[in-house]
Amino acid sequence: MARIDRQQSFSGTKPVPAALAFDAAILRTWLVQKLGGDPGALTVAQFKGGQSNPTYRIGSAHGDFVLRRKPPGPLLASAHAIDREFRVLEALSREGFPVAWPIGYETDAALIGSEFYVMDCVEGRVIWEPWIPHSNPMERAAIFDAMNATLAQLHAFDPAAIGLGDFGRAEGYVARQIKRWSTNYKASETQPIPDMDWLMGWLPDHVPPAQRAALVHGDYRLDNLILAPDAPRVAAVLDWELATLGDPLADAVYHFMTWVMPPSKSNAGTGTLIGHDLDALGIPALETYAHTYAQRAGLSDIPYFDEYMAYNLFRMAAILQGIAGRVRDGTATSEHGALMGTMVAPLAATAMRFARRVT
């Protein structure tokens, strides 16, 4: 199996395939109403990165925008919640948190074939390899610290104070997530994976005690961030589809999976730090990074670490199985979707290792 270059394969844009194309003139009319002026003729290209909601770069003489839409065709229940994404962007942009500025949301699917929203285009760097090639130890250390601080800042918000007090039911978050992703996994299943079946039975009995309610991102990792072009600073956090109210420690440990993510033969799966000399690269060890987050969150350590990690690895496996299911159904947005499905079994096996550490 040939290995792909993740940075080349997932960065930038590509021509829009026919199944995901729409009439730019209709969007131009819509933007005139939202902006109060005519942006002029539009160019449309699809971002290569992203697997769930098709995302487009909209070029105009007056600057670029980003359009994000639900994919066409049959969708899993509760998936592709771009209306929730837009609400989070509105709330966090008012607080000065690094997100793209939201411009408008459209519920009329008839306009371009599905619901969509438009936001400002934030220029900067999206880095697809977590070991950050073509950098240096000092910059890598600063980028990882900025990632850590930004996540802690997100979790520190009082949801009610920023208008998101009703954004979800914080109680029972992990238990509900296990149920949701078990259901979605079964709906997308393309082959039997015994480890996934075992985890679906084990996880409901090993849910960590509830933490305080916080706004959680749900998919926080380096390639869902835009870094400033010339500084180790988070310019924008992307992809808020899975955001809700929930357990901040579950959200943090999801981010920590990068250190234990099983490598993929194709390199199409989620990036991993396994196999890299972290000390030489300037990247903190998992224990150090987790402790730094805990201190920022006012904790001495991360309790129930193994349970959280087993849950998150299972959840990631279910998410990737959903992509494989969309390949089966013909609604996948990336040509690498089929390769994502090959990561489900290794993720489940890694989750099993953490589960078996629990006494």
**What are the boundaries of each domain within the chain?**
6-120, 137-355
Q: Where do runs of H (alpha helix) occur along the chain?
A: 6-10, 24-35, 82-94, 137-156, 173-188, 194-202, 248-256, 278-281, 286-296, 305-329, 337-341, 344-355
Taking all residues of the chain, what is their mean pLDDT, rounded to a whole number?
91
Q: Is the pLDDT of residue 21 over 60?
A: yes
Q: Is the pLDDT of residue 256 over 60?
A: yes
pLDDT classification of 337: cutoffs 50, 70, 90: low
Query: Which whole number is the average pLDDT over 186-193?
Result: 87
**Are 241 and 84 within 8 A, CB to CB?**
yes
CATH of domain 6-120: 3.30.200.20
CA distance readout (Å), 32 to 21, 37, 101: 20, 5, 17
Domain 137-355 sits in which CATH superfamily?
Aminoglycoside phosphotransferase (APH), C-terminal lobe (3.90.1200.10)
Count of CB atoms situated within 10 Å of the CB of 354: 20
Which residue, 122, 125, 115, is CA-closest to 64? Answer: 122
Question: Residue 210 pLDDT more than 90?
Answer: no
- Looking at residue 1, its pLDDT comes to 54
Using left for φ > 0, alpha for ψ between -120 and 50, and beta otherwise, residue 218 falls in: left
Q: Quick check: 322 and 334 in contact, CB under 8 A?
A: no
What average pLDDT does the segment 187-203 reach? 92
**Could you give the percent of the chain with pLDDT greater than 90?**
76
Report pLDDT digits (tens) over 213-246: 999 999 999 999 999 999 999 999 999 988 999 9
